[in-house]
Amino acid sequence: MNASEGEEPTVQDQDQDLAELRHALGPKFVTDRARVVTYENDSSRAVFAGAALGVVLAEAAEDVSAALAWAHANGVPVSVRGAGTGLVGGATAYDRGLIVSLERMNRILEFAPQDRLATVQPGVITADLDDAAHEHGLFFPPDPASVRTCTVGGNIATNAGGLRCVAHGVTSDWVAALTVVLADGRIMRTGARTRKNVVGYDLTRLFIGSEGTLGVIVEAVVRLESLPVGPPVTFWAEFDGLPEAGAAVTEIVGSASRPEVLELMDALTVRTIEEVFPSGIRIPRGALLVGQAVGPDAAAHAEAILAICRRHGASAAAVAANDNLVEARRKSNPALSARGLKIACDVGVPVSRLADMFAGVAEVSRRHGIEVASVAHAGDGNLHCKVAAPDTPSGIAAADALIDDITRLALSFDGTITGEHGIGLVKQHELAWQLDDVALDVQRAIKHTLDPMGILTPGRAI
């Protein structure tokens, strides 16, 4: 801060510097510890130790600009958060750092139905945007399991996926333009409202998935899609083993009847959901595949998919009376966390290796002697494996070792260490497993160019 380089700032230095921020932001800058502490952690297993200087409750781009300009001038690390639903520690605070909260920037600024676009602030809850789009005959395709609590800005910052990825891709496929505050407080706009735009480098894609390390997203123009005709048709299939279910998924994705949703839950996950959120779900011996087909031929596509499941040994398969099974899938993360399965990964593999991956996870679980619950966005090969571990240093270390083995297994199948949660803090040690030295050097050079003082989410993502 204002102390000489290498010296610890005094209380007087801190008070003087914070007075500048208070003057710029007024009551939107909060330093009361009882309030600040509620913003210091996210939903990950990363635990914050220390005390942040305060929270900026931003309401406009200018608030974020003032906060970052101050942090840049004073060399203060900044953490950025929306709803705090992240699972890799990306929004965890820094000791004597500044927290920028975007939760108050929660307005849908515009709908442009003829262009199938919406302009939103980053704190808009994803489901709220989707619901509002329905009134215009449109919908917002990105659909994380936490859709009712996560924010659009957080989805963009991590390039989130979700249940509808198999049909519609990930968040980056649905972002047309961004307004970003850079580390020094400058405000920049990227992209365009047009379908085609090849002017300069694709800076919009650069910021998507950057986990708050390159800039703070304060506005987004997102693309929308027309609502499908007719109600969705939900279907399900039970399998005695995960490998058989994986083989069925591989054929389904390669077929002409690609569904809009295709989710897989192992027996442990289904049993846990039923214990925590009872609804009468049948517990399969091995795995439960749940999906939805949409459009005028939804029923025919659902039946074709069920036929594939039966060919791959499904012990039972049928069309569901409602979408309760899809809603149950959304509850898997809170249910498993409540049961003590809190240490997780979200590896991805090519869909053709899904059956091999499930068999490998089972072997890793047996070798470690630790219970693993597997849930998958099966249609795109993204697995969420959660490990049961006692809340002790040795228990967490054992679970982390198992997760590391699952991650290495995914890489051996030409996969990735994260499909949608990001790197954050908890996956830092895995970066070099996937990226070579040249790739890391290039990414760090980009980071240094945009954030030379290293104040934006330092020590995370890359």
Residue 7: the pLDDT is: 44
Residues 246, 252, 258, CA angle at the centre, nearest 5°? Answer: 135
Place 5 in a pLDDT band, splitting at 50, 70 and 90.
very low
Burial of 51 per CB tally in 10 Å (0-12, 13-18, 19+): middle
98 with 78: CB under 8 angstroms?
yes
CATH value of 11-101 in 1.10.30.50, 3.30.43.10, 3.40.50.300, 3.10.20.30:
3.30.43.10
Is the per-residue pLDDT at 386 higher than 80?
A: yes
Q: In whole angstroms, give the CA distance from residue 290 to residue 288.
A: 6
Classify 457 as helix, strand or coil.
coil
Mean pLDDT of 211-234: 96
Domain spanning 108-226: CATH 3.40.50.800: no
Tell whether the torsion through CA atoms of 446, 449, 454 and 456 is positive or negative.
negative
Instruction: Residue count of the chain, please give it.
Output: 462
User: Per-residue pLDDT tens for 296-310?
Assistant: 999 999 999 999 999
Cβ burial 29-42 (10 Å sphere, 16+ → b, else e): bbeeeeebeebbbb
Mean pLDDT of 353-379: 93
Q: In whole angstroms, give the CA distance from residue 423 to residue 460.
A: 7
Is the per-residue pLDDT at 403 higher than 90?
A: yes
Classify 34 as helix, strand or coil.
helix
Strand partners, 179: 189, 219
Place 1 in a pLDDT band, splitting at 50, 70 and 90.
low
Burial of 282 per CB tally in 10 Å (0-12, 13-18, 19+): exposed
Mean pLDDT of 158-182: 95
Q: In whole angstroms, give the CA distance from residue 363 to residue 34.
A: 46
Residues 78, 461, 449, CA angle at the centre, nearest 5°? Answer: 70
Residue by residue, DSSP assigns 293-305 as E-STTHHHHHHHH
Is the per-residue pLDDT at 11 higher than 50?
A: no
Q: Which residues contact 373 (CB under 8 A, 6 or more apart)?
A: 266, 268, 269, 272, 336, 341, 385, 386, 387, 388
| 108-226 and 229-324 agree in CATH topology | no
Residue 390: the pLDDT is: 85
Place 191 in a pLDDT band, splitting at 50, 70 and 90.
very high
Domain residue ranges in the chain: 11-101, 108-226, 229-324
Averaged confidence pLDDT in the chain: 93
Highest mean pLDDT pick, 134-138, 256-260, 395-399: 134-138
Spell out where 275-357 has E strands.
287-293, 316-319, 341-345
30 with 57: CB under 8 angstroms?
yes
Contacts of range 204-210, beta carbons closer than 8 Å, 24 or more positions apart: 204/175, 204/176, 204/177, 204/178, 205/172, 206/446, 207/156, 207/178, 207/180, 208/156, 208/157, 208/159, 208/171, 208/172, 208/175, 208/178, 209/156, 209/157, 209/158, 209/159, 209/172, 209/422, 210/157, 210/461
Place 6 in a pLDDT band, splitting at 50, 70 and 90.
very low
Torsion of CA 339, 344, 350, 351, to 10 degrees: 10
Helix, strand and coil percent figures for the chain, each rounded to 5: 40, 20, 40
Q: Which residues contact 121 (CB under 8 A, 6 or more apart)?
A: 102, 105, 106, 107, 108, 109, 153, 218, 219
Mean pLDDT of 39-60: 92
Q: In whole angstroms, give the CA distance from residue 405 to residue 384.
A: 14
Structure tokens at 14: 């801190």
Place 15 in a pLDDT band, splitting at 50, 70 and 90.
low
Structure tokens at 6: 């290498």
User: Per-residue pLDDT tens for 285-336?
Assistant: 999 999 999 999 999 999 999 999 999 999 999 999 899 999 999 999 899 8
Q: In whole angstroms, give the CA distance from residue 324 to residue 331.
A: 11
Is the per-residue pLDDT at 207 higher than 50?
A: yes
Q: In whole angstroms, give the CA distance from residue 63 to residue 229.
A: 43
Share of the chain above pLDDT 90, in %: 85
166 with 262: CB under 8 angstroms?
yes
Q: In whole angstroms, give the CA distance from residue 39 to residue 327.
A: 28
Residue 341: the pLDDT is: 81
Domain spanning 229-324: CATH 3.40.50.300: no
Within 10 Å of residue 229's Cβ, how many Cβ atoms?
10
Residue 344: the pLDDT is: 87
Q: Which residues contact 394 (CB under 8 A, 6 or more apart)?
A: none
Place 47 in a pLDDT band, splitting at 50, 70 and 90.
confident
Q: In whole angstroms, give the CA distance from residue 376 to residue 355.
A: 12
User: Per-residue pLDDT tens for 340-350?
Assistant: 887 889 999 99
Residue 16: the pLDDT is: 54
